[in-house]
Amino acid sequence: MRPVPVLTYDPQPSAPALRLPAGACDAHVHVFGPADRFPHAPQRNFTPVDAPKEALFALHRTLGIQRCVIVQSFVHGFDNRVIADAIAAGGGRYLGVALAPVDVPDAELERLAAAGFRGVRFNFMKHLPGGADAASVVALTPRLKAVGMHLQVHFASELVHALAEPLARSAVPVVVDHMGRVDAVAGPDHPDFRALFALLANPLFRVKVSGIDRIDAQPASAPLYEKGVALARRLVEAYPDRCLWGTDWPHPNHTHVPSDAALVDALQRIAPEPALRRRLLVDNPADFYRFTA
């Protein structure tokens, strides 16, 4: 029996109330399909409804976003063509982060870098296939450095304690996805968040303050995603130069489909001052990802 495709986004998104600064960047999204052109990976953990580049571009026009970093998903596995296609259509305003095995050839890394990929992502999540051990990932980083790429990691919150030491040996900057997937309801004093906070004292690390809708297990509470926002604000205020933000559109492997307009409007609470918000949305991603437009 064929799996029933899952709709992971709102095909008719609303506009946010917040007007974003010029050059604002959504630093974490995915693109799915179209599947007849970019086949799904056999080992994927779910089958989504197509979320193609055209839907992403339209969303960003609605939200007021001019730049973006597209992250390869296990929906398409190590076949990064779907992202390369979107980058090529983005006019220098869309860049990528690839998935690749730890033994990826140097020639492939060079090809990806030339195509606009700025990093390689590794997952340490039970629900995602193809994970690698930390030592092998860190051993790859000198080769990432040679082509101007960074390392991006996605891990279950409790793994921060075991991963902190090996990742600190990376030869390139390390970006931690979605605030380390900490439990926002547990608050800032939980050991996992404290470990993440301490990790960022090392200038090698960056963090994406995306996922307020994932780490807050009580999304219906008012104000929306209050506990997720609180942790994101703490990180942005403590490490204003090392935080990045993204919507995580089209929201795969989620408990609900959040409003992207609401995620944008939450930035008023995550970074209340316009100068801090500009640093988070414009300056940090421009410097880190090296946009060409």
Q: Could you list the active site residues?
A: 248
Helix (H, G, I), strand (E, B) or coil at 241: coil
Query: Tokens 């946009």 — which residue?
Result: 291
- Separation of alpha carbons 11 and 50, rounded Å: 11
- Separation of alpha carbons 31 and 140, rounded Å: 26
Closest C-alpha to 86, from 33, 163, 36, 144? 33
Q: In degrees, to the nearest 5, what angle opens at C-alpha 238 toward C-alphas 141 and 205?
A: 0
- Separation of alpha carbons 188 and 179, rounded Å: 12
Tokens coding 231: 């942790």
- Separation of alpha carbons 146 and 106, rounded Å: 9
Question: Measured between alpha carbons, how far apart are the two ends of the chain, in Å?
Answer: 45
